[in-house]
Chain A
Amino acid sequence: MTAPRFRPALAALVLIGALLLLALPFLLTPYYLGLIVKIMIFALFAMSFDLLIGYTGLPSLGHAAYFGIAAYATGLLALGPGWNLWLALPASLLIAAATAALFGLLALRTRGSYFLMITLALSQVLWGIAFGWRSVTGGEDGLPDVPRPNLGLPWSLADDAPFYYFVLIVVGLATLMLIRVVNSPFGHALRGIRESETRMLALGYNVWRYKFVAFVLAGTFAGLAGCLYAYLNRYVSPGYVHVVMSAEVLLMVVLGGAGTLFGPVIGAALFVWLENLISGYTERWLMLLGIVYVLVGMFAPNGLTGLARDLRKRWGRS
């Protein structure tokens, strides 16, 4: 942990980035603006997952459970009672958190590949419910025509630019919260658990309690991403809770680099961009994704941000 320094170059970069993000609706066509929104949502989803796999060392393969159940809650609350955002969003997050708490109680009794299997199994139970309980979830057809929230502002979130700003603000605030968490004493303890659980126990940490809080926190932030995704697509389907979704968020984190918050953002951006680019030419997107994954695994095991770090070290710039 190096002492905090003011780095003018970094500050300038952040400022330029922020200005660019604010200006994007004026620069991009609606199609590409929608792509950026999707990237932001998946960046949040991937960051929440990195809290587990990258910081705490918990390899879950069921992280879509919380993303998906919050998306369903958002869709059902908007289509059914028609709650406004200030009720529907907290309710959806609460459902995601409660699901994560329940699954955490069951899954955190195991570790390693057993943890992976049980999180996978639990999330597939949710998928089974989403797929089978047609009268509520719409089954395979999902929930179409989910209305976007009405904030009572002069701008309608049904329009592209206001929705973009809405997602930008929500994801931005969530990112700031995650940055605080990983830099807190709690976040430091999570990294200790990743590195050596036995030593943490010997030092007096109630490791289970840290893991449980991290698990619920990660599930809640994944739920926030799920809410936004339901609003973006105006649609929820069983695919949102499916293991493929869990695997995709895992790939994003691995692609970008686990153990930092920046890595998952890069991974999510690359993933969504590649998917969009390649799907335009061929049906074999998953095959190409597999190749990219193998290449990253072979040549950049710490993800793209890890690769950049290593190259910079090798070329003698500190």
Chain B
Amino acid sequence: MSALVAEAVSRNFGGVQALSNVSFTVQPGERRLIIGPNGAGKTTLFNMISGAFAVSDGTIRLFGRDITHLPPYERARMGLARTFQITNLFPNLTVLENVLLALQAMDDSAFLLHRPMRANAHLFARAGALLEAWGLAALAGQLAKDISYGEKRQVDVILGMAMQPKVLLLDEPTAGLSAAEVVRVVGMIRSLPRDMTILMIEHDMDVAFELADRITVLHQGRLIAEGPRDAIRNNAQVNEIYLGAE
């Protein structure tokens, strides 16, 4: 069964057609890169898959189930996680508390009112281990708003990974990072379990071609090419309208 299917998905904002008739299928465990120039509709597509925006037309399926009209939190509970193009953390909570919120969502204790949060030692241990694994343990006690931009981007990705999703949507995780930080984040993504399905929007072509199994190319709201990495790399149309445009 396919991990994620989009069938003729469209979205318009007022009169503007942000996405028209986009269809694709992602297999379980696949690394699918979504590329395209600014305004191609990549983030709009992610917002519709994750449920942040409603689709105007079309159907989205997650492991065979129609999720087109499910609220975002139910999609998340089915194993769909996302990160954000514009860093979306909990600024006045510490980095550790940020990660704890990601872990707690699926924990049985999430809705308990009478028990102290400290009692969730297993969540604290997992949050600490995650930060340790990515060399961010020193930041645990700092407020998320006080850490550097590059660190925020990494915490954003960690929040998505912490959910241990079946399908992870990464929205330009390397945008604005230094070369060294890009290497770290690519390493993070590479380390994810191979059976986790990943959809990733990326502007950096080196990163895109390094991570991708298959690549989908969007342009002005339309899907103009899709195929294995090397086929896209050598696709004349893609080179002309996207790579050539730079």
Contacts and interface: CB of A to CB of B under 8 A. Distances in A.
B73 A201 contact: yes
A188 B51 CA distance: 24
Given A2-B141, A185-B120, A186-B111, A204 B97 contact: no
Interface string B93-122: 110110011101111011111111110100
Nearest to B94: A1
A202 B101 contact: no
Contact of B90 (A3, A191, A209): A191
Given A189-B104, A191-B90, A202 B113 contact: no
Given A195-B92, A198-B52, A1 B100 contact: yes
A185 B89 contact: no
Given A188-B117, A201-B76, A202-B52, A1 B90 contact: no
Interface stretch (B35-43, B77-85, B172-180, B212-220): B77-85
B84 A199 contact: yes
A188 B76 CA distance: 19
Nearest to B108: A185
A209 B113 CA distance: 13
B91 interface: yes
A191 B138 CA distance: 23
Give the contact-size bracket for chain B.
35 or more
Nearest to B120: A185
A192 B76 contact: no
Given A186-B111, A188-B100, A206-B73, A196 B116 contact: no
A201 B71 contact: yes
A199 B117 CA distance: 20
A233 interface: no
Interface string B13-55: 0000000000000000000000000000000000000111000
A199 B90 contact: yes
A198 B105 contact: no
A203 interface: yes
A24 to B, nearest CB: 30
Interface in A176-227: 180-181, 183-189, 191-192, 195-196, 198-207, 209-210, 213, 217
B47 to A, nearest CB: 10
A4 interface: yes
B121 to A, nearest CB: 11
Nearest to B111: A186
Chain A binding site: helix, strand, loop or mixed by DSSP? helix
B88 A198 contact: yes
B90 A204 contact: no
A217 B106 CA distance: 23
Given A186-B111, A189-B110, A4 B120 contact: no
Contacts of B116: 180, 183-184
B159 interface: yes
Contacts of A3: 118
Contact of B50 (A185, A202, A207, A217): A202
Please indicate which of the listed interface residues A181, A184, A185, A201 has the most CB atoms of chain B within 10 Å of its own CB: A185
Nearest to A179: B116
A138 to B, nearest CB: 37
Contacts of B51: 201
A263 to B, nearest CB: 14
A185 B110 contact: yes
Contacts of A213: 113
A202 B100 contact: no
A35 B107 CA distance: 45
A195 B105 CA distance: 15
B150 interface: no
A185 B72 contact: no
Contact of B101 (A2, A188, A217): A188
B163 interface: yes
A188 B71 CA distance: 22
Contact of A184 (B77, B106, B117, B141): B117
Contacts of B96: 1
B37 to A, nearest CB: 25
Contacts of A195: 89-93
Given A183-B116, A195-B89, A199-B84, 14 more contacts: A1-B118, A180-B113, A180-B114, A185-B109, A188-B104, A192-B90, A195-B91, A196-B89, A201-B73, A202-B52, A202-B73, A202-B82, A203-B101, A203-B159
Interface of A: 1-4, 180-181, 183-189, 191-192, 195-196, 198-207, 209-210, 213, 217
Interface of B: 50-52, 71-73, 76-77, 81-82, 84, 88-94, 96-97, 100-102, 104-107, 109-118, 120, 141, 159, 163
